[in-house]
Amino acid sequence: MHDVTIIGGGPAGLFSAFYSGLRNMKTKIIESHPFLGGKVHVYPEKIVWDVGGLPAVTGQQLIDHLVKQGTTFDPDIVLGEKVTSIEKIDGTFKLTTHNGQVHWSQSVIVAVGGGIIEPKKLDVKGAEKFEVSNLHYTVPSFQRFAGKRVVISGGSHSAIDWANELAPIAERVHLVYRREELKGHEASIDLLIEQGVELNEQSAIEALTANEAGTEISQVTLTHPEHGVRMLDVDEVIISHGFNRDASLLDQSPIPLERVDDFFIKGSAQSASSVSGLFAAGDILHHEGKLHLIAGAFQDAANAVNLAKQYIDPEASARAMVSSHNERMDEYNKKWKEEQLVSS
C-alpha cells in the first residue's frame, strides 16, 4: 500500500514524486512507456525556455534534470505498464494495468499529460511508406536536416519552433498551415520572418511525389483555396498535426469523475477532482486559471501532493516547507555541493 500513486512519469508526475518525497510519503510512479520524461521525448533537441530558473536547455537535458530530481527520494517506479482502470473500494484506490497487475494506494495523482499515444498521421494516400525514409512525425536530430529543403506541415507551437530551429541550418524551410494567421508566441512568429522561413498560409499537403526509386519524397503538392495547386521540391517532410488523445483510462474507470470535453479532468486550481483522494496535475487537469506550460505543471504537482498528504493525514500541515529549509534535503544539499566542487 502506497500513500500516493502517480499515474504518468512526465514533468508533472516527476515533480509530484519529488514533492511527495519531501513530505515523507511512500510514493509510486506508474508509466506506460519504458522510460520517464513524458511528452518532452518528442523534442529532445528543441530548446526549452518556459521553465523558471533554466534559461535554455534542450528537451533531453530537461528530461535528465526532471528524472534526477523526481527520483531523489527513491519512489517505486513501474515502467511499461498502462493503467486502464481506477476504482475506489472502501476509501482505497485500486489501479489495474493492461497486463492485469493491481496496485493499491491511499491516494492517486493523475498526471498523464495530453494522453499521447501517437502523432496524427498525414492523411494522404501512400504517405505511410515514406515513414522509413524522409517523412517525419518527430525531430530527434536537427543535423539530419542540415543543407536540406524542408517542408513542415502544421501551425502549432511545435511546428513554429521546429521551423525556427531548422532555418539556420537548412537550405530552405517552408511552413505549411491551414489558417490565415499563425497562432503562436509573437516573438517566435517574428523570428520565422527574420530567418526567411517561407510561410504558406491557408495551404495543405494534397499529394506526395516519390523519387525515381520510389523510396523517398521528392515533391509535395500544396493546395490553396484561391491560388490553386503548387509543387515544392523537397528533401525532408515534417508533419506536426498534433497527437491522438487516449481517454480510455477515464472511460473505463468506474468512478464519478467530472470531465471537460470528454478527456480532461475537471478540477480546482488546487488540483482537486470531483473524487476525494484523487488529484490531477499537468495538461490532464482543467480549470479556469489553468496554465498549459511546463512551469504550470510544477504548481499543479505541488498542490496535488499537499492535498493528498492532508487526505491521508488530516492532521498534516496544508503545505510543506520549501525544499531549501527541509531537513530531508540536508544530505542531498551536502552531496550536491560536493559534486559541484569535484566538477569545478
Distance CA 323, CA 297 (A): 17
Q: Is 201 annotated as a binding residue?
A: no
Q: Cell digits for 151? A: 517542408
Q: Using only C-alpha atoms, what is the Rg of the chain? A: 23
Q: Is 169 annotated as a binding residue?
A: no
Q: What is the pLDDT along the chain (344 residues), one digit of tens a residue?
A: 999 999 999 999 999 999 999 999 999 999 999 999 988 887 888 888 888 888 889 889 999 999 999 999 999 999 999 999 999 999 999 999 999 999 999 999 999 987 656 788 999 999 999 999 999 998 878 899 999 999 999 998 889 999 999 999 999 999 999 998 888 889 999 999 999 999 999 999 999 999 999 999 999 999 999 999 999 999 999 999 988 878 889 889 999 999 998 889 999 999 999 999 999 999 999 999 898 889 999 999 999 999 999 999 999 988 876 666 666 676 677 776 777 777 77
| Under 8 Å between Cβ of 250 and 257 | yes
What is the predicted pLDDT for the residue at 320? 74
| Under 8 Å between Cβ of 297 and 281 | yes
Residue of 99, 104, 123, 97 whose CA lies nearest to 244: 123
Cβ contacts of 54 within 8 Å, gap of 6 or more: 48, 62, 65
CATH entry, 121-239, from 3.30.2320.20, 3.50.50.60, 3.40.470.10, 1.20.272.10: 3.50.50.60
What is the predicted pLDDT for the residue at 327? 67
Residue of 235, 110, 216, 93 whose CA lies nearest to 166: 235
Cα dist. 277→203, 296, 313, 314 in Å? 47, 21, 11, 12
| Under 8 Å between Cβ of 301 and 281 | yes
Q: Which amino acid is at 135?
A: L
Distance CA 169, CA 313 (A): 55
CATH number of the structural domain 4-117+243-343: 3.50.50.60
What is the predicted pLDDT for the residue at 15? 97
Q: Is 165 annotated as a binding residue?
A: no
Residue of 100, 128, 112, 144 whose CA lies nearest to 246: 112
Name the helix (H) or strand (E) containing 69.
Answer: helix 59-70
Q: Is 117 annotated as a binding residue?
A: yes
Cβ contacts of 330 within 8 Å, gap of 6 or more: none
Name the helix (H) or strand (E) containing 330.
Answer: helix 330-343
| Under 8 Å between Cβ of 233 and 218 | yes
Residues in the chain: 344
Which residues make up the CATH 3.50.50.60 domain(s) of the chain?
4-117+243-343, 121-239
Q: Is 283 annotated as a binding residue?
A: yes
H-state helical runs in the chain? 11-22, 59-70, 157-166, 186-194, 248-251, 294-312, 330-343
Cβ contacts of 75 within 8 Å, gap of 6 or more: 6, 17, 20, 21, 27, 28, 29
What is the predicted pLDDT for the residue at 237? 97
- 329-332 own/partner pairs: CB under 8 Å, 24+ apart: 329/22, 332/72
Q: Is 50 annotated as a binding residue?
A: no
Q: Cell digits for 15? A: 515533480
Distance CA 79, CA 34 (A): 5
Q: Is 262 annotated as a binding residue?
A: no
